Structure 1
Amino acid sequence: MEDLNFESNSLLELYNHLNLSVNLIDAAEGFSIFNLKDIGFKLPYQSTSYRPNFFSFLFIKDGIGHYTIDEHTFEVKPHSVYFTNPSNYRTFGWDKIEEIYLITFDETFLKKYISKEIFDDFPFLLTEKIKPKMVTDEFYHKAEYIYLQIQSEYTSNSPEKYKIIGHLLAVLFYKIKEYFWQDYDPIYEGNRSSQIVKSFKQLLEKHYRDLSSNKIETVFRVQDYANAQNLHPNYLSSVIKTKTGKPIATWIAEKTISEAKSLLKNSSISIKEITYKLGFSETAHFSNYFKKHTHTTPVQYRRELKKNI
C-alpha cells in the first residue's frame, strides 16, 4: 500500500516515491534545479501527501497549479514565486506546465556553500508566509537571469560548480529578501512560527511535570517534540533557535537541570529516584549530566543546600 504521509529527505526520494522522472536530479550535494516541463508530468497531475526535509523555490513563468498545506490551498499562477520550507504535510497539483523552474536545497547545502549562519543572514527562510507571491515583470526578469545562470552551472561539468551555485543562490536570496522580506524578523512574527515556539514550551513543561509525577518514564528527544507538531526536527530546531536565540538542546537541558535542582532541594527522595524521575537510566549518567551543566554533582549540590539551612 502506498504511504499517504510520506516523509522525504530529498527531492530524489520524493520523486521516486511519486514515480516521477529523476534523471535531472543530482543527489550528491542536496541541491537541484530544472524546468518541471522536462519531468514529463501527466497533466492534470495530483500528488499524494508528503512532508519534505528540504527547501524549495518555484519560479512560475508559464504554468498553473496549486499547493495545499495544513488544509490551506494556494493557487499558483504565471509570474509568481512560491517558497516552501521543511514543515507540515502538503500536496501539489499541476494543470499546466510550460516554464516552471524548481530549485530545491537542504540545510546542509546552505551551510556548506553559503553560510553557517544562513538563518541569521536570511531569516525569511524560516517564514511561514507560504502564499505564492505575484511579482513585477522587472523583478521576474532579474530573478530569471540569476536562476538560469544557476541552472547552467548545475548542468556543467565544472568541479567548482556547487561553489559557484552557492554564490549565485546567495545573490538570488538577497534579491528575494529585498523584494519580499526586507523588514522581516522572525522574532516578531505573530503567526505559525510563534505558535511553534509556544507549543514547544508548553509541551516541554507538561513533559517534565509528567516525568516528575511518574506518569511517564522517558525523556523526550528533539524528534519527539518535532513529531508532536508534525514537523521535521531540523526545522523545529531552526525555528526555536532563530525566534528565541537559544538552541532547542539548551532549552531541554536547562529544564532538566531546573527540575533536578527542585527535586534535590525540595524533596527527600534519593538521587537514584531523581535519576529515574528525570528519565535517566543510570545514576552515573545523571550525575555526569548534572555536573556538566552546573560544575557540581547532585550529591555536592544537596550537601551545600543543607549547609546553608
Structure 2
Amino acid sequence: MNKITTYSLEHHKSLFTTASNKDGYFYIQAQDHPYITEPYRAESYAVEFLRKGSIVMQTRLSKTVIHAPAIITLSPSVIRSFSKDSEEILIDIIFFKAPFFLESQVNIFFLTQFDFFENDAMHVSALDKTAVTKFEPIFNQIKAALNGTYPHQPAILRSYLYILIYELDTLKQNIPHHTAQNPLFEKFKAILAKEFLEQRAVGYYANRLHVTRKYLSEVVKKNSGKTAKDWIDGLIILEAKVLLQNKSLTINQVSDILNFSNQSVFGKFFKKHTGLSPLAYRTES
C-alpha cells in the first residue's frame, strides 16, 4: 500500500503545451509557471533555469523565494509546491525520467550521488555573472537542439545534462563552508526524511545522532525556527496531503500507510494541524 499520487511526465507537459511528448524527456522555455500550491511528487527529474523574475518554491518544509538567475534541481521523490512571486518570469525547464538519462550509463546510481537533487538546502543554485556566462549558453544550445529538427536529440540532451550536472556539482563544491547549515541539523533532516513514517519520537533521532533530546531540539530550533517535533509532524502532514490526493486510496488506507493506529487517530491529527478533516481536504484539493 505505497501507491502515491505523482505528476507524470505527460501531465507536466500538458501544463505547458499540447505538443506531442518525447520519449522520457520534455523541454520548455516558458514565460509563466503552473503554480501548483498543493504538495506533490513527480515521476521525473527536473532541472530549471530561472532567467528572469522570481518564484516561491516549497520542498518538504523548506520555503524559498528564488530570484533569477538561478538553477533549480529536483528529484522525483521530493515533495514540492510552487506559488507566484513576480508578474513576469522566464524559465527553461527540462523534465527527464531516470531510465531515459541512464540508458547508456553503466552506473545506475549516477544521479543519486548528487545531493542537489534530494537535499532541500541544495535545490537552488543562485548564479553570479560568471556562472550565468557558463550556464546560459548550455540552455541556449539545448533550446536550439530540442526545438529544431536535429537528429539524435535524445543523445544530445543526455550530453548536455551530463555537463549541467557536473557544472552544478562544481558550483556547489565552491560554496564557502560558512554558508552551510549546522551539520547536526542537516543529518537530522536526512534521517528524518527516510524514517519519519516509522519513527515519530524526537528522542529516537537524538539517539541516532548521539546527542541529548534537548540539544537536538535547540539546534533544530536555532537553524529553522521550528522544533524537531514540528519537523516530524510537518512531514507527516505533507505525506498525508500527497496521499489524500490519490483518490484510489481510502482514508483508512492512507491512515495505515502513515502508521496511525486507526483512522480516527489520523483524522484528529490531520485536523489539528490543518483545520480540516482528511475527507474535507480531499474534497477541496
TM (norm. structure 2) is 0.56
Residue 27 and residue 125 in structure 1: after superposition, are their counterparts in 2 closer, same or farther (change >3 A)? same
Contact 1:55 1:104 in 2 (8 A): yes
CA distance in 1, matches of 2:63, 2:154: 34
Contact 2:28 2:92 in 1 (8 A): yes
Corresponding residue for 1:195? 192
Q: Percent identity?
A: 15
Counterpart secondary structure, 1:65:
strand
For residues 249-288 of structure 1, the aligned pairs below 5 Å read: none
Per-residue Cα deviation, 1:188-214 (whole angstroms, up to 9, x for no partner)? 9614333234447759xxxxxxxxxxx
CA distance in 1, matches of 2:139, 2:60: 29
Residue from 65, 78, 87 that aligns with 2:77: 87
> Based on CA coordinates, which of the two structures has the bigger radius of gyration?
1
CA distance in 2, matches of 1:34, 1:129: 25
Contact 1:64 1:77 in 2 (8 A): yes
Counterpart secondary structure, 1:147:
helix
Residue from 149, 152, 166 that aligns with 1:157: 149
Residue 120 and residue 78 in structure 1: after superposition, are their counterparts in 2 closer, same or farther (change >3 A)? closer
Gaps of 5+ in 1: 204-226, 233-309
Two-structure CA RMSD over aligned residues (Å): 3.6
Determine which structure has greater relative contact order: mean sequence separation of CA pairs < 8 Å that are 6+ residues apart, divided by chain length.
2
Residue from 74, 79, 95 that aligns with 1:104: 95
Aligned length: 193
Residue 73 and residue 202 in structure 1: after superposition, are their counterparts in 2 closer, same or farther (change >3 A)? closer
Q: 1:103 is aligned with what amino acid? A: I
Gaps of 5+ in 2: 178-183, 201-235, 243-285
Counterpart secondary structure, 1:143:
helix
CA distance in 1, matches of 2:21, 2:125: 28
Counterpart secondary structure, 2:121:
coil
CA distance in 1, matches of 2:49, 2:173: 17
Contact 2:13 2:21 in 1 (8 A): no
Residue from 68, 72, 80 that aligns with 2:62: 72
Counterpart secondary structure, 1:13:
helix
Residue 105 and residue 182 in structure 1: after superposition, are their counterparts in 2 closer, same or farther (change >3 A)? farther
Counterpart secondary structure, 2:68:
coil
Residue from 9, 31, 35 that aligns with 2:29: 35
Counterpart secondary structure, 1:129:
helix
Residue 84 and residue 141 in structure 1: after superposition, are their counterparts in 2 closer, same or farther (change >3 A)? same
Counterpart secondary structure, 1:116:
coil
TM (norm. structure 1) is 0.52
Corresponding residue for 1:56? 46
